[in-house]
Structure 1
Protein backbone atom coordinates (compact mmCIF):
# COMPACT_ATOMS: atom_id res chain seq x y z
CA UNK A 1 0.00 0.00 0.00
CA UNK A 2 1.23 3.49 -0.80
CA UNK A 3 1.47 6.24 1.70
CA UNK A 4 -1.51 8.49 2.16
CA UNK A 5 -1.49 11.96 0.71
CA UNK A 6 0.05 14.48 3.11
CA UNK A 7 -2.06 17.55 3.74
CA UNK A 8 -0.09 20.68 2.87
CA UNK A 9 -0.33 22.99 5.84
CA UNK A 10 2.02 24.48 8.38
CA UNK A 11 3.42 21.99 10.88
CA UNK A 12 2.60 23.39 14.31
CA UNK A 13 5.14 21.39 16.31
CA UNK A 14 8.50 23.18 16.01
CA UNK A 15 10.61 20.01 16.41
CA UNK A 16 8.63 18.16 13.74
CA UNK A 17 8.78 21.21 11.50
CA UNK A 18 12.59 21.35 11.76
CA UNK A 19 12.95 17.62 11.03
CA UNK A 20 10.67 17.91 8.00
CA UNK A 21 12.60 20.94 6.73
CA UNK A 22 15.94 19.11 6.97
CA UNK A 23 14.63 16.01 5.17
CA UNK A 24 12.87 17.88 2.37
CA UNK A 25 15.76 20.33 1.94
CA UNK A 26 18.17 17.46 1.36
CA UNK A 27 15.70 15.82 -1.00
CA UNK A 28 15.27 19.05 -2.96
CA UNK A 29 19.04 19.57 -3.26
CA UNK A 30 19.41 15.96 -4.44
CA UNK A 31 16.68 16.40 -7.06
CA UNK A 32 18.32 19.61 -8.32
CA UNK A 33 21.65 17.81 -8.65
CA UNK A 34 20.06 14.84 -10.46
CA UNK A 35 18.20 17.16 -12.86
CA UNK A 36 21.41 18.96 -13.79
CA UNK A 37 23.23 15.66 -14.46
CA UNK A 38 20.47 13.76 -16.25
CA UNK A 39 19.27 16.60 -18.45
CA UNK A 40 22.38 18.82 -18.63
CA UNK A 41 20.24 21.63 -17.25
CA UNK A 42 21.63 24.74 -15.63
CA UNK A 43 20.11 24.53 -12.17
CA UNK A 44 20.55 27.00 -9.32
CA UNK A 45 18.77 26.62 -6.01
CA UNK A 46 18.70 29.01 -3.05
CA UNK A 47 17.08 28.12 0.29
CA UNK A 48 16.70 30.16 3.47
CA UNK A 49 15.63 28.26 6.56
CA UNK A 50 13.02 29.72 8.97
CA UNK A 51 15.92 30.74 11.23
CA UNK A 52 17.62 32.53 8.32
CA UNK A 53 20.31 29.95 7.53
CA UNK A 54 21.38 29.93 3.89
CA UNK A 55 21.68 26.88 1.60
CA UNK A 56 22.45 26.80 -2.11
CA UNK A 57 23.19 24.54 -5.05
CA UNK A 58 24.32 25.52 -8.52
CA UNK A 59 25.33 23.25 -11.35
CA UNK A 60 27.29 26.15 -12.85
CA UNK A 61 28.69 29.40 -11.48
CA UNK A 62 26.03 30.92 -9.20
CA UNK A 63 26.83 34.54 -10.14
CA UNK A 64 26.55 33.71 -13.83
CA UNK A 65 23.23 31.98 -13.25
CA UNK A 66 21.90 34.94 -11.26
CA UNK A 67 23.07 37.38 -13.96
CA UNK A 68 21.37 35.25 -16.61
CA UNK A 69 18.18 35.17 -14.57
CA UNK A 70 18.18 38.95 -14.12
CA UNK A 71 18.68 39.40 -17.84
CA UNK A 72 15.82 37.02 -18.65
CA UNK A 73 13.31 38.79 -16.39
CA UNK A 74 14.46 42.29 -17.34
CA UNK A 75 16.16 43.27 -14.09
CA UNK A 76 19.25 45.52 -14.21
CA UNK A 77 22.56 43.72 -13.87
CA UNK A 78 25.02 44.18 -11.03
CA UNK A 79 27.27 46.47 -13.05
CA UNK A 80 24.30 48.57 -14.12
CA UNK A 81 23.19 48.84 -10.50
CA UNK A 82 26.63 49.97 -9.41
CA UNK A 83 26.79 52.57 -12.17
CA UNK A 84 23.36 53.90 -11.29
CA UNK A 85 24.25 53.94 -7.60
CA UNK A 86 27.45 55.91 -8.25
CA UNK A 87 25.59 58.32 -10.51
CA UNK A 88 22.90 58.80 -7.88
CA UNK A 89 25.40 59.57 -5.10
CA UNK A 90 27.38 61.93 -7.33
CA UNK A 91 24.16 63.82 -8.00
CA UNK A 92 23.32 63.89 -4.28
CA UNK A 93 26.79 65.17 -3.38
CA UNK A 94 26.60 67.89 -6.01
CA UNK A 95 23.16 68.96 -4.78
CA UNK A 96 24.41 69.11 -1.18
CA UNK A 97 27.42 71.16 -2.29
CA UNK A 98 25.15 73.68 -4.03
CA UNK A 99 22.91 73.89 -0.95
CA UNK A 100 25.91 74.47 1.34
CA UNK A 101 27.31 77.20 -0.91
CA UNK A 102 23.92 78.93 -1.06
CA UNK A 103 23.49 78.77 2.72
CA UNK A 104 27.00 80.11 3.34
CA UNK A 105 26.33 83.01 0.94
CA UNK A 106 23.07 83.84 2.77
CA UNK A 107 24.88 83.83 6.11
CA UNK A 108 27.49 86.24 4.75
CA UNK A 109 24.72 88.51 3.47
CA UNK A 110 23.07 88.53 6.91
CA UNK A 111 26.24 90.00 8.45
CA UNK A 112 26.65 92.51 5.62
CA UNK A 113 29.37 90.73 3.65
CA UNK A 114 29.48 90.09 -0.12
CA UNK A 115 26.39 92.23 -0.76
CA UNK A 116 27.92 94.24 -3.60
CA UNK A 117 26.54 91.95 -6.36
CA UNK A 118 23.00 92.10 -4.92
CA UNK A 119 20.39 94.13 -6.76
CA UNK A 120 17.62 96.26 -5.31
CA UNK A 121 15.17 93.35 -5.16
CA UNK A 122 17.63 91.08 -3.34
CA UNK A 123 18.56 93.88 -0.93
CA UNK A 124 14.91 94.56 -0.06
CA UNK A 125 14.30 90.86 0.51
CA UNK A 126 17.39 90.67 2.72
CA UNK A 127 16.19 93.71 4.67
CA UNK A 128 12.77 92.10 5.27
CA UNK A 129 14.43 88.90 6.45
CA UNK A 130 16.66 90.83 8.84
CA UNK A 131 13.70 92.81 10.23
CA UNK A 132 11.73 89.61 10.77
CA UNK A 133 14.72 88.04 12.48
CA UNK A 134 15.25 91.05 14.75
CA UNK A 135 11.56 91.07 15.74
CA UNK A 136 11.69 87.39 16.63
CA UNK A 137 14.86 87.90 18.65
CA UNK A 138 13.33 90.84 20.55
CA UNK A 139 10.17 88.86 21.25
CA UNK A 140 12.20 85.95 22.55
CA UNK A 141 14.33 88.32 24.63
CA UNK A 142 11.22 89.83 26.25
CA UNK A 143 9.88 86.39 27.14
CA UNK A 144 13.21 85.37 28.67
CA UNK A 145 13.42 88.60 30.72
CA UNK A 146 9.80 88.23 31.88
CA UNK A 147 10.39 84.65 32.98
CA UNK A 148 13.59 85.69 34.76
CA UNK A 149 11.77 88.49 36.62
CA UNK A 150 9.04 86.06 37.72
CA UNK A 151 11.69 83.68 39.01
CA UNK A 152 13.45 86.47 40.94
CA UNK A 153 10.16 87.61 42.49
CA UNK A 154 9.36 84.07 43.52
CA UNK A 155 12.79 83.70 45.12
CA UNK A 156 12.34 87.09 46.85
CA UNK A 157 9.01 86.01 48.35
CA UNK A 158 10.55 82.78 49.56
CA UNK A 159 13.43 84.69 51.19
CA UNK A 160 11.02 87.13 52.85
CA UNK A 161 8.93 84.29 54.25
CA UNK A 162 12.04 82.56 55.54
CA UNK A 163 13.27 85.81 57.09
CA UNK A 164 9.91 86.38 58.82
CA UNK A 165 9.97 82.83 60.17
CA UNK A 166 13.49 83.29 61.54
CA UNK A 167 12.58 86.66 63.09
CA UNK A 168 9.61 85.06 64.83
CA UNK A 169 11.78 82.31 66.25
CA UNK A 170 14.35 84.89 67.35
CA UNK A 171 11.71 86.84 69.29
CA UNK A 172 10.48 83.66 70.94
CA UNK A 173 13.93 82.62 72.17
CA UNK A 174 14.30 85.11 75.18
CA UNK A 175 10.86 84.17 76.59
CA UNK A 176 11.79 80.55 76.41
CA UNK A 177 15.08 81.20 78.30
CA UNK A 178 13.38 83.20 81.07
CA UNK A 179 10.66 80.63 81.54
CA UNK A 180 13.25 77.90 81.76
CA UNK A 181 14.99 79.74 84.66
CA UNK A 182 11.79 80.24 86.75
CA UNK A 183 11.11 77.19 88.96
CA UNK A 184 7.72 75.60 88.70
CA UNK A 185 5.36 76.02 91.75
CA UNK A 186 5.59 72.38 92.77
CA UNK A 187 9.35 72.55 92.67
CA UNK A 188 9.33 75.67 94.92
CA UNK A 189 7.03 74.02 97.51
CA UNK A 190 9.23 70.97 97.65
CA UNK A 191 12.29 73.16 98.11
CA UNK A 192 10.70 75.10 101.06
CA UNK A 193 9.50 71.92 102.72
CA UNK A 194 12.99 70.48 102.51
CA UNK A 195 14.46 73.67 104.11
CA UNK A 196 11.94 73.51 106.97
CA UNK A 197 12.77 69.87 107.58
CA UNK A 198 16.48 70.59 107.62
CA UNK A 199 16.07 73.58 109.97
CA UNK A 200 13.97 71.50 112.36
CA UNK A 201 16.52 68.72 112.44
CA UNK A 202 19.23 71.18 113.48
CA UNK A 203 17.17 72.30 116.45
Structure 2
Protein backbone atom coordinates (compact mmCIF):
# COMPACT_ATOMS: atom_id res chain seq x y z
CA UNK A 1 0.00 0.00 0.00
CA UNK A 2 1.34 3.39 -1.00
CA UNK A 3 2.07 5.65 1.95
CA UNK A 4 0.39 9.02 1.73
CA UNK A 5 2.37 12.24 1.77
CA UNK A 6 2.37 13.93 5.15
CA UNK A 7 1.13 17.48 5.07
CA UNK A 8 3.66 19.92 6.50
CA UNK A 9 1.76 21.51 9.35
CA UNK A 10 1.54 21.13 13.10
CA UNK A 11 -0.04 17.89 14.22
CA UNK A 12 -2.95 18.82 16.42
CA UNK A 13 -3.38 15.48 18.18
CA UNK A 14 -0.92 15.37 21.09
CA UNK A 15 -0.53 11.58 21.04
CA UNK A 16 0.14 11.48 17.29
CA UNK A 17 2.50 14.45 17.60
CA UNK A 18 4.54 12.65 20.30
CA UNK A 19 4.78 9.45 18.24
CA UNK A 20 5.89 11.34 15.14
CA UNK A 21 8.47 13.28 17.16
CA UNK A 22 9.90 10.12 18.66
CA UNK A 23 10.21 8.36 15.27
CA UNK A 24 11.66 11.33 13.40
CA UNK A 25 14.03 12.21 16.22
CA UNK A 26 15.49 8.72 16.16
CA UNK A 27 15.82 8.81 12.37
CA UNK A 28 17.49 12.24 12.46
CA UNK A 29 20.02 11.13 15.10
CA UNK A 30 20.78 8.01 13.06
CA UNK A 31 21.34 10.06 9.90
CA UNK A 32 23.66 12.41 11.78
CA UNK A 33 25.72 9.47 13.00
CA UNK A 34 25.89 7.92 9.53
CA UNK A 35 26.97 11.23 8.01
CA UNK A 36 29.81 11.61 10.52
CA UNK A 37 31.07 8.06 9.92
CA UNK A 38 30.68 7.84 6.13
CA UNK A 39 32.02 11.32 5.33
CA UNK A 40 34.41 11.81 8.27
CA UNK A 41 32.53 15.00 9.14
CA UNK A 42 32.20 16.71 12.48
CA UNK A 43 28.49 16.68 13.21
CA UNK A 44 26.60 18.12 16.15
CA UNK A 45 22.86 17.87 16.56
CA UNK A 46 20.75 19.52 19.28
CA UNK A 47 17.01 18.88 19.65
CA UNK A 48 14.61 20.33 22.22
CA UNK A 49 11.21 18.68 22.48
CA UNK A 50 7.96 20.59 22.94
CA UNK A 51 8.21 19.92 26.67
CA UNK A 52 11.79 21.25 26.79
CA UNK A 53 13.64 17.95 26.97
CA UNK A 54 17.12 17.97 25.38
CA UNK A 55 18.36 15.41 22.86
CA UNK A 56 21.82 15.78 21.32
CA UNK A 57 24.45 14.02 19.24
CA UNK A 58 28.07 15.00 18.69
CA UNK A 59 30.65 13.15 16.63
CA UNK A 60 33.45 14.72 18.66
CA UNK A 61 34.24 13.89 22.27
CA UNK A 62 32.59 17.07 23.56
CA UNK A 63 29.63 18.99 22.21
CA UNK A 64 31.20 22.21 23.57
CA UNK A 65 34.19 21.83 21.22
CA UNK A 66 31.91 21.71 18.20
CA UNK A 67 29.86 24.64 19.48
CA UNK A 68 33.01 26.70 20.07
CA UNK A 69 34.23 25.88 16.57
CA UNK A 70 30.85 26.88 15.16
CA UNK A 71 30.89 30.21 17.01
CA UNK A 72 34.36 31.07 15.67
CA UNK A 73 33.37 30.24 12.10
CA UNK A 74 30.05 32.02 12.47
CA UNK A 75 31.87 35.16 13.64
CA UNK A 76 34.28 34.94 10.72
CA UNK A 77 31.42 34.44 8.28
CA UNK A 78 29.57 37.39 9.78
CA UNK A 79 32.65 39.61 9.37
CA UNK A 80 33.03 38.43 5.79
CA UNK A 81 29.40 39.22 5.08
CA UNK A 82 29.82 42.70 6.56
CA UNK A 83 32.99 43.25 4.52
CA UNK A 84 31.27 42.08 1.35
CA UNK A 85 28.26 44.29 2.01
CA UNK A 86 30.50 47.32 2.63
CA UNK A 87 32.51 46.56 -0.51
CA UNK A 88 29.38 46.11 -2.62
CA UNK A 89 27.91 49.35 -1.28
CA UNK A 90 31.17 51.13 -2.12
CA UNK A 91 31.04 49.78 -5.66
CA UNK A 92 27.42 50.88 -6.01
CA UNK A 93 28.30 54.38 -4.77
CA UNK A 94 31.24 54.62 -7.17
CA UNK A 95 29.09 53.41 -10.06
CA UNK A 96 26.38 55.97 -9.25
CA UNK A 97 29.00 58.73 -9.01
CA UNK A 98 30.48 57.68 -12.36
CA UNK A 99 27.03 57.77 -13.98
CA UNK A 100 26.47 61.28 -12.62
CA UNK A 101 29.82 62.48 -13.96
CA UNK A 102 29.10 60.87 -17.32
CA UNK A 103 25.71 62.57 -17.54
CA UNK A 104 27.31 65.90 -16.61
CA UNK A 105 29.97 65.48 -19.33
CA UNK A 106 27.38 64.51 -21.92
CA UNK A 107 25.30 67.56 -21.03
CA UNK A 108 28.35 69.84 -21.24
CA UNK A 109 29.27 68.31 -24.60
CA UNK A 110 25.79 68.94 -26.00
CA UNK A 111 25.92 72.57 -24.80
CA UNK A 112 29.32 73.09 -26.45
CA UNK A 113 27.80 71.80 -29.68
CA UNK A 114 24.97 74.29 -29.33
CA UNK A 115 22.33 71.71 -28.36
CA UNK A 116 19.83 72.02 -25.49
CA UNK A 117 20.80 75.62 -24.72
CA UNK A 118 17.27 76.99 -24.70
CA UNK A 119 16.90 76.20 -21.01
CA UNK A 120 20.34 77.61 -20.08
CA UNK A 121 20.63 80.71 -17.95
CA UNK A 122 22.81 83.69 -18.82
CA UNK A 123 25.54 82.52 -16.45
CA UNK A 124 25.56 79.05 -18.04
CA UNK A 125 25.78 80.56 -21.52
CA UNK A 126 28.65 82.81 -20.44
CA UNK A 127 30.44 79.77 -19.03
CA UNK A 128 29.95 77.84 -22.29
CA UNK A 129 31.22 80.85 -24.26
CA UNK A 130 34.35 81.04 -22.08
CA UNK A 131 35.01 77.36 -22.61
CA UNK A 132 34.68 77.79 -26.37
CA UNK A 133 37.09 80.75 -26.32
CA UNK A 134 39.65 78.70 -24.39
CA UNK A 135 39.27 75.82 -26.84
CA UNK A 136 39.69 78.15 -29.82
CA UNK A 137 42.82 79.69 -28.27
CA UNK A 138 44.35 76.26 -27.81
CA UNK A 139 43.42 75.28 -31.37
CA UNK A 140 44.92 78.45 -32.83
CA UNK A 141 48.11 78.02 -30.80
CA UNK A 142 48.48 74.46 -32.00
CA UNK A 143 47.81 75.49 -35.61
CA UNK A 144 50.44 78.27 -35.43
CA UNK A 145 52.95 75.84 -33.97
CA UNK A 146 52.34 73.44 -36.86
CA UNK A 147 52.74 76.30 -39.37
CA UNK A 148 56.05 77.35 -37.77
CA UNK A 149 57.26 73.77 -37.88
CA UNK A 150 56.35 73.48 -41.58
CA UNK A 151 58.08 76.81 -42.36
CA UNK A 152 61.22 75.63 -40.58
CA UNK A 153 61.21 72.39 -42.57
CA UNK A 154 60.72 74.28 -45.85
CA UNK A 155 63.64 76.60 -45.03
CA UNK A 156 65.85 73.61 -44.33
CA UNK A 157 64.84 72.06 -47.67
CA UNK A 158 65.49 75.40 -49.44
CA UNK A 159 69.00 75.65 -47.95
CA UNK A 160 69.69 72.08 -48.96
CA UNK A 161 68.57 72.71 -52.55
CA UNK A 162 70.60 75.93 -52.77
CA UNK A 163 73.73 74.05 -51.68
CA UNK A 164 73.09 71.39 -54.30
CA UNK A 165 72.63 74.10 -56.98
CA UNK A 166 75.87 75.83 -55.93
CA UNK A 167 77.80 72.56 -56.13
CA UNK A 168 76.38 71.83 -59.57
CA UNK A 169 77.22 75.33 -60.80
CA UNK A 170 80.84 74.97 -59.65
CA UNK A 171 81.13 71.60 -61.39
CA UNK A 172 79.71 73.04 -64.62
CA UNK A 173 82.24 75.92 -64.56
CA UNK A 174 85.12 73.52 -64.00
CA UNK A 175 83.99 71.34 -66.91
CA UNK A 176 83.70 74.39 -69.21
CA UNK A 177 87.23 75.54 -68.40
CA UNK A 178 88.73 72.10 -68.98
CA UNK A 179 87.14 71.80 -72.48
CA UNK A 180 88.80 75.06 -73.96
CA UNK A 181 91.97 74.21 -76.18
CA UNK A 182 95.22 75.93 -75.17
CA UNK A 183 97.27 77.35 -78.20
CA UNK A 184 101.08 76.83 -78.14
CA UNK A 185 103.34 79.90 -78.91
CA UNK A 186 105.56 79.73 -82.04
CA UNK A 187 109.32 79.37 -81.59
CA UNK A 188 111.37 82.31 -82.99
CA UNK A 189 113.81 79.93 -84.78
CA UNK A 190 111.10 78.46 -86.92
CA UNK A 191 110.73 79.83 -90.48
CA UNK A 192 107.34 80.10 -91.93
CA UNK A 193 107.10 80.11 -95.75
CA UNK A 194 104.50 82.58 -96.79
CA UNK A 195 105.02 82.69 -100.58
CA UNK A 196 102.33 81.70 -103.04
CA UNK A 197 103.05 79.31 -105.91
CA UNK A 198 101.02 78.53 -108.98
CA UNK A 199 101.23 75.10 -110.39
CA UNK A 200 102.83 72.01 -109.09
CA UNK A 201 105.70 72.49 -106.73
CA UNK A 202 109.18 72.51 -108.20
CA UNK A 203 111.32 69.47 -107.75
CA UNK A 204 114.99 69.69 -107.23
CA UNK A 205 117.19 67.73 -109.69
CA UNK A 206 119.97 65.93 -108.12
CA UNK A 207 123.38 66.56 -109.78
CA UNK A 208 125.55 63.55 -110.57
> Which protein has the larger Cα radius of gyration, Structure 1 or Structure 2?
2
More helix by share: 1
Q: TM-score normalised to the size of structure 2?
A: 0.49
TM-score, normalised on structure 1?
0.50
